[in-house]
Chains A and B, each alone.
Chain A
Amino acid sequence: MRNYLDFEQPIAELEGKIEELRHLSDDGEVNIADEVSRLQTKADKLLRQTYTKLSPWQKVQVARHPNRPHFCDYVEALIDDYMPLAGDRAFADDKAIQGGLGRFRGRPVVVMGHEKGADTTSRVKHNFGMARPEGYRKAIRLMELAERFKLPVLTFVDTSGAYPGVGAEERGQAEAIARSIETCLKLNTPIVSTVIGEGGSGGAIAIAAADSVLMLEHAVYSVISPEGCAAILWGTADQASAVAEALKITAQDLTQLGCVDAIIPEPVGGAHRDIDATMKAAGDAIEAALSKLTGLDAAALIKARRAKYVAIGREGLNG
């Protein structure tokens, strides 16, 4: 059973009809094949039209789509010999951030990312991808491991934000995020981050201060959720759609602002409609980004990474 988003209703109706007709044809009716292929063409066209001009708010919904591939899907498709590693060695293992060692297209890497979970049980287990300090401290630990063994780091960002809870505050949520950003920026091996779904504020940047930041075509990345921003500035979450527009959260906007280095194309209808194609596109983009960084010595790498962040937003100011 496919999940349809609100704005996909016309497509849902068409595809529903096609499904019905297919059942009829199973019953032995004639001349239905033509009708099916006519409707299919129509549905495909509609889907393409809808997805080429998705509004930012629609992209938010696609980025949060329940069937959208998550970290574990990327690991399964792109990482061989995966060895998951657990724990921050101080307090707990935060399942909102997963990570470990593995091979990406033959090359050993450290891989990590937010995992949102795919059904109710796993969503609860992974705390909906909202990490606590332990998650960021695990990320730090894994990055330090990568440093020791000269392994590139691949991160996958998919979180609505860091978890706002009493325990998280008690154990230093702010410090953990700050340290994680610091560790990214100090890392002496290449780091490539891919925003695969939602890039939610501090919880996202904690593992995304990277040499190369990639973003899926319909992913979103923002300092605050459109609902949260609307609630603060308008006092109501109703304006979320307008705020999504104003905040400039799409991959296309962020590329223009110099915050994202490359966009990974998604299949028509979003990443979840063709997971294999999504994985291939993501893998190719990551490989391309990684190959540009290979061979740079640690000092040059760190210098370039910092220069990149320092330059953000300065374009066109100094003549």
Chain B
Amino acid sequence: MNWLTNWVRPKIKALVGEADVPDNLWHKCPSCGQMIFHRDLDAHINVCQHCGHHLRIPLAKRFEHLFDDGVYTKIELPRVKIDPLKFRDKKRYTDRLKEAQAKTDTGDAIVVAHGKIKGKPVVIAAFNFQFMGGSMGMAVGEGMLAASRLAVMQKAPLIAIPSSGGARMQEGILSLMQMPRTTIAVEEVKEAGLPYIVLMTDPTTGGVSASFAMLGDIHIAEPGAQIGFAGRRVIEQTVRETLPEGFQTAEYLLEHGMIDLVVPRSEQRETLANLIGLLMDGVKAIAPPPAQKAKDAAADLDIPTPEKPSTDGDKDAKADTKPAAKSDENSGEKSGAKSGAAPTE
């Protein structure tokens, strides 16, 4: 307006310092509109304590919550060609990438980490929505491939956590090619006899939903997450009518048979651990470890054997002969009981 506002005010502001009141102490819930204090948000793993709305959660925080004691190892992802099409719209794609990298501190929209959930080793491939809307380009494809290979190598289940608007347009046809590529990735996990679980978070749409995200052995979704193929606007323009209430939400997809479970964030750890146990212990039961085989053979022949030949890290596979309990040898059993999955004796 004049020199007072243009010059003096900024000077004063610079002197006094605006940083006295951080602007992120309070968050407004996008669903109920109530204010949430940042500590509450943190304590509730980014779920609104007023209405239960699941806000987006930074990846680091999600990992901390999911993995035992918040301990996990991120793996380095393969390099990909930067900007293969030399794409530019209003901005250069390379600039958009740099901005996103600076903003999010991740190389691209996917992070792959491994660790344990209630004692069970898992590999997680999770999307970072902050990185260009979690869009899927070459880097994401490589990330999924790396994750699946790691899972196969570790004989661990793969958990994919998409949060993505779909394909990365700036990579053109190469982004479309990530649909078959990620499909191949999860296929490798399934063919290795390992569980592939998808935990869909807001949003899971477009090319991501139409490829690996919908190919899980089990589909879990966060409450309220938007899941679907085409965008709402596109559909509205096509059918020229208002969309049904709750269209494309996790609950809607549950109703229409596309997902198995809607699980709030606070229960996801238990659910995942329980599912993995149920899916993997059966295989273990059919193929007993070599030690057990030796014992069985010995029993048949009535020959005494050394009590405990070393197995691959089964610390407490001792003389515990209860076959049902054997699978739950880790801490998961105790807390599993807490969540209502009480073992029937």
Binding site for B on A (CB under 8 A): 162-166, 168-175, 177-179, 181-182, 184-186, 201-202, 205-206, 209, 221-224, 229, 232-234, 243, 246-249, 253-254, 257, 259, 306, 309-310, 312-314, 316-317
**Is B183 located at the chain interface by the 8 A CB criterion?**
yes
A-B contact count (CB 8 A): 167
Contact of A186 among B187, B214, B239 (CB under 8 A): B187
Asked, given contacts A232-B169, A249-B173, whether A312 binds B181 with beta carbons under 8 Å apart, the answer is: yes
For the complex, give the distance between the alpha carbons of A232 and B206 in Å: 14
State whether A223 touches B214 (Cβ < 8 A).
no
Identify the 9 closest CB pairs spanning chains A and B, nearest first: A164-B230, A174-B209, A233-B89, A177-B210, A174-B229, A178-B214, A173-B229, A223-B176, A175-B214
Known: A177-B211, A178-B209, A247-B173. 5 other contacts (CB 8 A): A169-B228, A179-B214, A223-B173, A246-B172, A249-B172
State whether A309 touches B180 (Cβ < 8 A).
yes
For the complex, give the distance between the alpha carbons of A313 and B174 in Å: 7
Provide a sorted-by-A list of 24 A–B residue pairs whose CB atoms are within 8 angstroms.
A164-B229, A168-B230, A169-B229, A169-B247, A169-B248, A172-B257, A172-B258, A173-B229, A177-B211, A178-B209, A178-B211, A178-B212, A181-B179, A181-B180, A182-B215, A205-B179, A209-B179, A222-B176, A223-B169, A234-B90, A247-B172, A248-B85, A254-B173, A257-B173
Q: How near does chain B come to A266, taking the closest CB pair, in angstroms?
A: 20
With a cutoff of 8 Å between Cβ atoms, the chain A residues found around residue B11 in the complex are: none
Q: How near does chain B come to A268, taking the closest CB pair, in angstroms?
A: 26
With a cutoff of 8 Å between Cβ atoms, the chain B residues found around residue A248 in the complex are: 85, 172-173
State whether B89 touches A246 (Cβ < 8 A).
yes
For the complex, give the distance between the alpha carbons of A304 and B212 in Å: 20
Asked, given contacts A169-B247, A223-B173, A317-B81, whether A178 binds B181 with beta carbons under 8 Å apart, the answer is: no
Contact of B210 among A173, A209, A249 (CB under 8 A): A173
State whether B175 touches A223 (Cβ < 8 A).
yes
Q: How near does chain B come to A238, taking the closest CB pair, in angstroms?
A: 13
State whether A185 touches B172 (Cβ < 8 A).
no
Q: How near does chain B come to A63, taking the closest CB pair, in angstroms?
A: 14
State whether B210 touches A174 (Cβ < 8 A).
yes
- The A-contacting residues of B in range 80-101, CB under 8 angstroms, are 80-81, 84-85, 87-90
**Is B138 located at the chain interface by the 8 A CB criterion?**
yes
Interface residues as binary, B177-218 with A (CB distance below 8 Å gives 1, 0 otherwise):
101110110010000000000000000011101111111000
State whether A181 touches B213 (Cβ < 8 A).
no
Binding site for A on B (CB under 8 A): 78-81, 84-85, 87-90, 138, 141, 145, 167, 169, 171-177, 179-181, 183-184, 187, 205-207, 209-215, 227-231, 234-235, 238-239, 241, 243-244, 247-248, 256-258
Name which residue of chain A comes closest to B136, CB basis: A223
With a cutoff of 8 Å between Cβ atoms, the chain A residues found around residue B179 in the complex are: 178, 181, 202, 205, 209
Q: How near does chain B come to A302, taking the closest CB pair, in angstroms?
A: 10
Contact of B180 among A164, A201, A209, A314 (CB under 8 A): A209
Asked, given contacts A174-B209, A175-B214, A185-B184, whether A164 binds B234 with beta carbons under 8 Å apart, the answer is: yes
With a cutoff of 8 Å between Cβ atoms, the chain B residues found around residue A246 in the complex are: 85, 87-89, 172
Name which residue of chain A comes closest to B205, CB basis: A174
State whether B187 touches A316 (Cβ < 8 A).
no
State whether B172 touches A166 (Cβ < 8 A).
no
With a cutoff of 8 Å between Cβ atoms, the chain A residues found around residue B181 in the complex are: 309-310, 312
State whether B256 touches A174 (Cβ < 8 A).
no
State whether A164 touches B176 (Cβ < 8 A).
no
State whether B173 touches A174 (Cβ < 8 A).
no
State whether A174 touches B177 (Cβ < 8 A).
no
With a cutoff of 8 Å between Cβ atoms, the chain B residues found around residue A162 in the complex are: 210, 229-230
For the complex, give the distance between the alpha carbons of A312 and B80 in Å: 11
Name which residue of chain B comes closest to A223, CB basis: B176
With a cutoff of 8 Å between Cβ atoms, the chain B residues found around residue A249 in the complex are: 172-173
Q: How near does chain B come to A254, taking the closest CB pair, in angstroms?
A: 6
State whether B235 touches A234 (Cβ < 8 A).
no
State whether B184 touches A165 (Cβ < 8 A).
no
Q: How near does chain A come to B71, taking the closest CB pair, in angstroms?
A: 31
